[in-house]
Amino acid sequence: MAAQRTAGHRLAGQAGQPGHKYVYAFAEGNKDLKDLLGGKGANLAEMTNLGLPVPPGFTITTEACQAYLATGREPDGLAAQIADHLAALERAMGRRLGDPQDPLLVSVRSGAKFSMPGMMETVLNVGLNDRSVVGLAAQAGGGPGGAATGRDAGGAADGAGPDGAASGGGERFAWDSYRRLIQMFGKTVCEVPGEEFEHALDAAKRAKGVTSDLDLTADDLRELVGAYKKVFATHTGRDFPQDPREQLDLAIRAVFGSWNAERAVLYRRQERIPADLGTAVNVVAMVFGNLGPDSGTGVAFTRDPATGNQGIYGDYLANAQGEDVVAGIRNTVPLQELARIDRRSYDHLLDFMARLERHYRDLCDIEFTIERGKLWMLQTRVGKRTAAAAFVIAGQLVDEGLIDLDEALHRVTGAQLAQLMFPRFQLDHGIDAVATGVGASPGAASGKVVFTSARAVELAGEGEPVILVRRETNPDDLNGMIAARGILTSRGGKTSHAAVVARGMGKTCVSGADEIDVNVPQRRFTVAGQTVTEGDVVSVDGTTGKVYLGEVPVMPSEVVRYFEGDVDPERSDDALVRAVHRIMTHADARRRLAVRTNADTGADAARARRFGAEGIGLCRTEHMFLGDRRELVERLILARTDTERADALAALLPLQRADFEEIFREMAGQPVTVRLIDPPLHEFLPPLEQLAVDVAVAQERGEDVAREEALLAAVRRMHEENPMLGLRGVRLGLVIPGLFAMQVRAITEAAVTVTRAGSVARPEIMVPLVGAVQELETVRAEAEKIIAEVVGESGVEVLIGTMIEVPRAALTAGQIAEAAQFFSFGTNDLTQMGWGFSRDDVEGAFFWRYLELGIFGISPFESIDRDGVGRLVRIAAEEGRAARPDLKLGICGEHGGDPDSVHFFHDVGLDYVSCSPFRVPVARLEAGRAVVSSEGSDSR
Q: Which residues are annotated as part of the binding site for Mg(2+)?
A: 805, 829
Q: Does 826 bind Mg ion (CB under 5 A)?
A: yes
* SS3 state of residue 533: strand
* SS3 state of residue 510: strand
**Choices 224-232, 285-293, 754-762, 826-834 (CB under 6 A): range interacting with ligand ADP:** 285-293
CB atoms within 10 A of CB 542: 29
Q: Which of 42, 124, 216, 218 binds ligand ADP (CB under 6 A)?
A: 124
- Residue 69 is which amino acid? L
Q: Which of 54, 227, 248, 284 binds ligand ADP (CB under 6 A)?
A: 284
Residues near 500 by beta carbon (within 8 Å), at least 6 away in sequence: 843, 847, 848, 851, 859
Least distance CB 107 / ligand ADP (angstroms): 3
Distances (CA, A) of 200 to 138, 227, 647, 714: 26, 7, 91, 81
Rounded distance, CA 560 to CA 555, Å? 11
The DSSP result for 265-295, as a single string, is: HHHHHHHT--TT--EEEEEEE---S-SSTT-
| Closer by beta carbon to ligand ADP, 41 or else 493 | 41
Instruction: Please pick, among 85, 348, 497, 581, the residue that the annotation labels catalytic.
Output: 497
Least distance CB 175 / ligand ADP (angstroms): 18
Indicate which of Mg ion, ligand ADP, none lies near residue 477 (CB less than 5 to 8 Å, by partner kind).
none
Site string for Mg ion, 786-825 (x = CB under 5 A): -------------------x--------------------
| Closer by beta carbon to ligand ADP, 299 or else 484 | 299
Lay out the sheet containing 23-25: strands in order across: 23-25, 57-60, 279-285, 106-112, 122-126
Least distance CB 613 / Mg ion (angstroms): 20
Q: Does 281 bind ligand ADP (CB under 6 A)?
A: no
| Closer by beta carbon to Mg ion, 296 or else 826 | 826
Distances (CA, A) of 639 to 316, 678, 687, 743: 82, 20, 19, 18
DSSP strand pairing (822-825 vs 888-891) = parallel
| Closer by beta carbon to Mg ion, 370 or else 711 | 370
Rounded distance, CA 737 to CA 644, Å? 12
* SS3 state of residue 347: helix
Rounded distance, CA 35 to CA 277, Å? 8
Residues near 885 by beta carbon (within 8 Å), at least 6 away in sequence: none
Indicate which of ligand ADP, Mg ion, none lies near residue 124 (CB less than 5 to 8 Å, by partner kind).
ligand ADP
Least distance CB 284 / ligand ADP (angstroms): 4
Indicate which of ligand ADP, Mg ion, none lies near residue 286 (CB less than 5 to 8 Å, by partner kind).
ligand ADP
Which residues is 823 bridged to in the sheet? 802, 889
Task: Show contacts with Mg ion in window 695-724 (CB under 5 A).
Answer: none
Structural element, H or E, at residue 480: helix 478-483
Q: Which of 21, 96, 109, 607 binds ligand ADP (CB under 6 A)?
A: 109
Q: Does 314 bind Mg ion (CB under 5 A)?
A: no
Q: Does 122 bind ligand ADP (CB under 6 A)?
A: yes
| Closer by beta carbon to ligand ADP, 230 or else 374 | 374
| Closer by beta carbon to ligand ADP, 105 or else 790 | 105
| Closer by beta carbon to ligand ADP, 44 or else 876 | 44
Least distance CB 74 / Mg ion (angstroms): 25
Indicate which of ligand ADP, Mg ion, none lies near residue 829 (CB less than 5 to 8 Å, by partner kind).
Mg ion
User: Catalytic: 895?
Assistant: no
Rg (CA), the chain: 34
The region that residue 909 occupies, defined by phi over 0 for left and psi between -120 and 50 for alpha, beta otherwise, is left
- Residue 783 is which amino acid? A
Instruction: Report which residue's Cβ sits closest to Mg ion.
Output: 829
| Closer by beta carbon to Mg ion, 380 or else 543 | 380
Buried b (16+ CB within 10 A) or exposed e, 280-304: bbbbbbbbbbbbbbbbbbbbbbbbb
The DSSP result for 683-701, as a single string, is: GGS--HHHHHHHHHHHHHT
Least distance CB 355 / ligand ADP (angstroms): 19
Burial of 799 (0-12, 13-18, 19+ CB in 10 A): middle
Strands (E), 113-231: 122-126
Instruction: Please pick, among 65, 364, 892, 915, the residue that the annotation labels catalytic.
Output: 892
Rounded distance, CA 300 to CA 375, Å? 13
Q: Does 314 bind ligand ADP (CB under 6 A)?
A: no
Task: Show contacts with ligand ADP in window 37-56 (CB under 6 A).
Answer: 55
Whether the CB-CB separation of 353 and 364 falls below 8 Å is answered with yes
Binding site membership: which residues? 620, 675, 805, 826-829
DSSP strand pairing (57-60 vs 106-112) = unpaired
Rounded distance, CA 31 to CA 361, Å? 13
Number of residues that bind ligand ADP (CB under 6 A): 15
Q: Which of 378, 392, 730, 741 binds ligand ADP (CB under 6 A)?
A: 378
Q: Which of 23, 45, 251, 286 binds ligand ADP (CB under 6 A)?
A: 286
**Choices 26-34, 87-95, 279-287, 356-364 (CB under 6 A): range interacting with ligand ADP:** 279-287
Rounded distance, CA 471 to CA 474, Å? 10
Which residues is 282 bridged to in the sheet? 59, 109
Q: Which of 324, 829, 865, 926 binds Mg ion (CB under 5 A)?
A: 829
| Closer by beta carbon to Mg ion, 139 or else 379 | 379
Indicate which of ligand ADP, Mg ion, none lies near residue 587 (CB less than 5 to 8 Å, by partner kind).
none
- Residue 566 is which amino acid? D
320 DSSP assignment: -
Indicate which of ligand ADP, Mg ion, none lies near residue 826 (CB less than 5 to 8 Å, by partner kind).
Mg ion
Q: Which of 290, 369, 489, 544 binds ligand ADP (CB under 6 A)?
A: 369
Q: What backbone torsions phi and psi does residue 177 show, to the nearest 5 degrees?
A: -65, -40
Buried b (16+ CB within 10 A) or exposed e, 342-354: beebbebbbebbe
Site string for Mg ion, 359-388 (x = CB under 5 A): --------x-----------x---------
Least distance CB 827 / ligand ADP (angstroms): 41
Q: Does 287 bind ligand ADP (CB under 6 A)?
A: yes
Least distance CB 101 / ligand ADP (angstroms): 21
Least distance CB 493 / ligand ADP (angstroms): 21
Instruction: Report which residue's Cβ sits closest to ligand ADP.
Output: 322
CB atoms within 10 A of CB 207: 11
| Closer by beta carbon to ligand ADP, 291 or else 440 | 291
Indicate which of Mg ion, ligand ADP, none lies near residue 322 (CB less than 5 to 8 Å, by partner kind).
ligand ADP
DSSP strand pairing (444-450 vs 466-470) = parallel
User: Catalytic: 410?
Assistant: no
Which residues is 108 bridged to in the sheet? 123, 283
Q: Which of 379, 386, 441, 670 binds ligand ADP (CB under 6 A)?
A: 379
Least distance CB 371 / ligand ADP (angstroms): 8
| Closer by beta carbon to Mg ion, 483 or else 681 | 681
Q: Which of 99, 215, 323, 708 binds ligand ADP (CB under 6 A)?
A: 323
Q: Does 247 bind ligand ADP (CB under 6 A)?
A: no
- Which residues are catalytic, by number? 497, 892
Interface residue list for Mg ion (CB under 5 A):
367, 379, 805, 826, 829
Judged by the rule CB under 6 A, the positions of this chain that interact with ligand ADP are 55, 107, 109, 122, 124, 284-287, 322-323, 367, 369, 378-379
